[in-house]
Amino acid sequence: MAEKFYVTTPIYYPNDIPHIGHAYTTLAADVLSRWNSLQGKEVFFLTGTDDHGKKIANTAKEKGLSPQEFTDKLVPKFKDAWKNLNIKYDRFIRTTDKDHEKIVGEVLQKCYDKGDIYKGEYEGLYCTGCEAYFTEKDLEDGKCPIHKKPVEKLKEETYFFKLSEYKDKLLDFYKKNPKFLSPKNRSKEIINRVSEGLNDLSISRASFDWGIPLPFDKEHVTYVWFDALFNYYSATRKKGKEKFWPADVHLIGKDISWFHTVYWPAFLISAGIELPKVVYSHGWWTFDKEKISKSRGKILHVDKLIKIAGVDSARYFLFREASFGEDGDFSEQALIDRHNNELANKLGNLISRVSSLAEKYGIEKVKDRPLDKKWKKVLEGGEATYEEMVGSIGSNDEGRVIRFLEIKHGGGSDALLLSYPQVLNEVTQYFVKKHMESFQIDKALATIFSFIDGCNEFIQLRKPWESSKKLEYRRYVLGEAVRAIREITTLLSPFIPETSEKISKIFKTDKIKKSPIIFKKIEVQ
Ligand code: MSP
């Protein structure tokens, strides 16, 4: 049976059309989903919308629509955006879906029966923008630190979840599952805050009705985060999907890690459900060095993102420009520069040069040469970094790569039958896999581009076009390059699927024809 891989995105509030922030997580999930499918895994990729709650109810009211009508209008905008970005999810869930509502009722009842939910009165602060409760000390200048807007004072009857009783269980879980809080540099903050102690959490509202009624008190609707988080689980309660739980990774933005790494595991423990393996919080995009803000016009919607240089260039840029766990700054110029200098110049040149030379001279079919055992050991032992093995070697001398490994690992003189592109390929395959498995998507992409650089240098150094070269030699060099391009195409396919397909068509046969231009350079007036 194939190994399974279950990846999720946050479910987005459908109160406006999607922007670069929403696109980022959903694209990351698409990249991981495609990559894991390539590895032969059975993949389930879930995304969707968070339809309930006060925020949606308020926006709908402003527009003169019912919340259902309003969200029904907005949801297709998300689906269109994902289609236009060539994102292939397996299910688009809405919290208004009947199967989800039923599961939320069931888990609430379980937590209630366990004695983890009790009735009380909440008196405190609430930010509807975040759909979150705050204490005075969380505020900045008396305002919500995220939305910079005044918070609401609430005083109402509510049901509480006994979060305070989960402190030790959570700390113990983090300790035993260090990957759960990913990336590592974000884990300390969560652990420290949990160690300080947790307050019980209000999980119902009685002052409005846009939500899932509590099964044990229909006057209350479920707190939107309790409802929303369970989407990840309810999507796996369908026939044939049960095997996907627990999730392999929940991808989220750093602003919502508290909900996912504290509330979510506590709810699950209470309901007796297995916990997800990883919650990976990525950084935030700023726009021209400023925080994204609709009112100040500092926002980039998906259609605009695609228009600048095409879908694949946008996909490429987002995972090349910023490290996946860190913040990044978006600017149109930076996207165009990467499109021109990397996609058009590096990848585009390799494709056009090799295809036209291959049309002219033909290629020699390269035989399959499995990786030498000694090399395998070095790679799998994780003893050398990619840079050590390839980058710093300067990449233009086959012998130096081989010698490096021999010096470092005391190898004898066993003849290494690999050519330089194949050495690069083997090393690249290894590191890309390693990075993808630890969700370092940007590093995986950078490694693939080092391979592309290496191939360009190989061609430049071997100069198969020179008249002094024998036909046999030219064909050998081109055969190696074509083989490398085929590997690169596969590695790039999760990132730039449409382009990879185009390239793959050109190099699929051994009778290669000169390729049309794959990435047209963008001139900025
Ligand atoms: N509905 C909740 C999530 C519930 S998941 C059970 C929610 N929705 S949201 O629409 O407000 O935001 C969703 C995601 O968009 C968050 O992960 C957030 O980090 C991300 N982003 C919003 N702005 C962003 C940037 N400027 N940059 C990167 N991601 C950002 O929260």
Please state, in angstroms and rounded to a whole number, the distance separating the CA atoms of residues 305 and 311: 8
**Candidate ranges 131-140, 156-165, 409-418; pick with highest mean pLDDT:** 156-165
**Band of residue 412 on the pLDDT scale cut at 50, 70, 90:** very low
- Å from CA of 34 to ligand 1 middle: 22
Decide if pLDDT at 154 tops 60: yes
Active site residue 127: yes
pLDDT in tens, 247-281: 999 999 999 999 999 999 999 999 999 999 999 99
**Band of residue 377 on the pLDDT scale cut at 50, 70, 90:** low
Q: Which atom of ligand 1 is nearest to the CA of 291?
A: 26
Per-residue pLDDT at 375: 56
**Band of residue 408 on the pLDDT scale cut at 50, 70, 90:** very low
Decide if pLDDT at 524 tops 90: no
The count of C-alpha atoms lying within 13 angstroms of the C-alpha of 146, restricted to the half-sphere facing its C-beta, is 14
Active site residue 294: yes
**Mean pLDDT, the chain, as a whole number?**
90
The whole-number average pLDDT for the span 224-240 is: 97
Q: Which atom of ligand 1 is nearest to the CA of 50?
A: 1
Active site residue 22: yes
Report how far apart, in Å, the C-alpha atoms of 353 and of each of 15, 342, 349, 490 are.
48, 15, 6, 19
- Å from CA of 253 to ligand 1 middle: 6
The whole-number average pLDDT for the span 421-428 is: 78
The residue to mutate among 9, 15, 17, 25, having the most atoms of ligand 1 within 8 angstroms of its beta carbon, is 25
What tokens were used for 28? 């990351």
Q: Please give the angle made by the CA atoms of 156, 145 and 61, to the nearest 5 degrees.
A: 55
Q: Which atom of ligand 1 is nearest to the CA of 13?
A: 10
The whole-number average pLDDT for the span 327-340 is: 97
Please state, in angstroms and rounded to a whole number, the distance separating the CA atoms of residues 497 and 488: 12
In order of their start, the domains of the chain are 332-507 (1.10.730.10)
Better-predicted residue by pLDDT, 86 or 396: 86
Per mean pLDDT, which range of 43-52, 133-142, 375-384, 387-396 is the poorest?
387-396
Q: Looking at ligand 1, which residue's alpha carbon is closest to its atom 23?
A: 21
Report how far apart, in Å, the C-alpha atoms of 337 and of each of 332, 343, 429 are.
9, 9, 27
Q: Looking at ligand 1, which residue's alpha carbon is closest to its atom 22?
A: 21
Characterize 206-245 residue by residue with b for buried, 16 or more Cβ atoms within 10 angstroms of its Cβ, and e for exposed: eeeebbbbbeeeeebbbbbbbbbbbbbbbbbeeeebeebb
Ligand 1 pocket, CB under 6 A: 10-13, 21-22, 24-25, 50, 228-229, 252-253, 255-256, 284-285, 292
Decide if pLDDT at 396 tops 80: no
pLDDT in tens, 5-62: 999 999 999 999 999 999 999 999 999 999 999 999 999 999 999 999 999 999 999 9
Residue 463, SS3 per DSSP = coil
Please state, in angstroms and rounded to a whole number, the distance separating the CA atoms of residues 260 and 262: 6
Per-residue pLDDT at 393: 39
- Å from CA of 25 to ligand 1 middle: 8
Active site residue 144: yes
pLDDT in tens, 83-131: 999 999 999 999 999 999 999 999 999 999 999 999 999 998 999 999 9
Bridge partners of residue 46, in order along the sequence:
8, 91
Decide if pLDDT at 380 tops 80: no
113-116 long-range contacts (CB < 8 A, ≥24 apart) are: 114/270, 114/271, 114/272, 115/162, 116/161, 116/162, 116/165, 116/270
Question: Do 418 and 367 contact (CB within 8 A), yes or no?
Answer: no
Determine which one of 73, 83, 102, 291 is catalytic: 291
Per-residue pLDDT at 367: 66
What stretches of 198-331 show up as alpha helix (H) in DSSP?
224-229, 231-234, 257-258, 264-271, 302-309, 311-321
Better-predicted residue by pLDDT, 474 or 171: 171
Q: Which atom of ligand 1 is nearest to the CA of 228?
A: 6
What stretches of 247-343 show up as alpha helix (H) in DSSP?
257-258, 264-271, 302-309, 311-321, 332-338
Per-residue pLDDT at 406: 42
The residue to mutate among 13, 22, 285, 286, having the most atoms of ligand 1 within 8 angstroms of its beta carbon, is 22
Question: Do 129 and 235 contact (CB within 8 A), yes or no?
Answer: no
Determine which one of 61, 114, 147, 149 is catalytic: 147
Q: Which atom of ligand 1 is nearest to the CA of 254?
A: 19
What tokens were used for 272? 């007796």
DSSP code for 357: H
